[in-house]
Amino acid sequence: MPTDGPGHLATIELRIAPDFYFTDAQRELTADPDSDSRYQFGGLPDQSSYVRWEGVGEFLVSSRGHQITARRFEEASQESFQVYLLGQALSFALVKCGFEPLHATTVVVNGEAVAFLGESGFGKSTLAACFLEAGYGILTDDLLVLKKESVKKNAGVFMAYPGPPRIKLFPNDARRLLGNTPHGVAMNSESTKLILPLSSLHLSRAPLPLRALYALSGPQEVSRKSGIHISVLPPRESFMALVRHTFNSRIVHSARLERQFKQMSQVVSEMPVRTLTYPRVLAQLRKVRNAILADLNPADLNLADRQQAACGD
């Protein structure tokens, strides 16, 4: 985590430990691991959390979230290990530090953050890659942290914080949208999705003001012939959308739920959530991108139309 400058959120120490360290921790689990999943979780008596991904690694997050102790399994690549460390495991630390990370991929449009909320498999990264194709940047892929800006010039603005310099895409999507043969590393042994590094030209490394939140409809909710629809949700539904797309749902206690209610209510009071429904057809993504750009600034509608024509849509 950044420790100074405009990107400071919290100081979280990372330690690497041998296997016996985690063997001892597993003996004290108060919740049984998920027997039918590659993912295992448990809470310890001292309020720390143990999480493990088969084929990747295991992590122990301290009770207050200021320390993550980790072990990478031998069969896991460094890239795969870092994705789980800086996404899944980090979400436990962030929640314990008082933040409410969202499951969102965020692009940069005109110096502002535009976030796409959705579960795994909803197409967040693929949609973001379509923005990359048009020259827009990416702020973070998968995990988004928002913080109310206290600086006077940005009073009342929620700032979106950057994530690691990579995006996760299936090879065909990367080839079609990024225009070259993808050179990435598999997320894990059971997935063909690749971890692709991003160059400095495609990244924003400083927090940016949040411009909009779009909740993606699930692929099963639309057909290939469906149109593109964007609508603003009422406050109650906006709140439920944010809660539904909270990144970490494992830590559940009254203090966390109360904080979550307050923080999500604050976001909704200043920025309602929009729903975005569109067919999951790769050839239609440029139209989806242009619809989003027009929604963000109706005055740019003609520009979006010109971009669409230039792309041959």
CATH code for the part of the protein at 102-310? 3.40.50.300
Please spell the DSSP secondary structure of 133-189, one letter per residue.
HTT-EEEESSEE-EEE--SGGGTT-EEEPP--SEEEE-HHHHHHHHSS----EESST
What is the pLDDT, as a whole number, of residue 10? 83
Average pLDDT, the chain: 86
What's the pLDDT band for 37 if we cut at 50, 70, 90?
low
Q: What is the pLDDT of residue 1?
A: 43
Q: pLDDT category, 7, cuts 50, 70, 90?
A: low
DSSP secondary structure letter of residue 289: H
Secondary structure class of 130 (helix, strand, coil): helix
What is the model's pTM?
0.88
What are the extents of the domains in the chain? 5-96, 102-310
- For residue 190, what pLDDT is reported? 80
Percent of the chain with pLDDT over 90: 58
Backbone angles phi and psi of 108, in degrees to 5: -115, 120
Confidence check: pLDDT of 238 > 90: yes
pLDDT range class, residue 45, cuts 50, 70, 90: confident
For residue 313, pLDDT over 60 is answered with no
Give pLDDT, residue 2. 41
Question: Per DSSP, which regions of the chain are E strands?
Answer: 13-16, 39-43, 49-53, 57-61, 67-72, 102-109, 112-117, 137-140, 143-144, 146-148, 158-160, 166-169, 185-186, 194-197, 208-216, 229-232, 274-277
| Average pLDDT, integer, range 97-102 | 94
**Which has the higher per-residue pLDDT, 37 or 7?**
37
Percent of the chain having pLDDT more than 70? 85
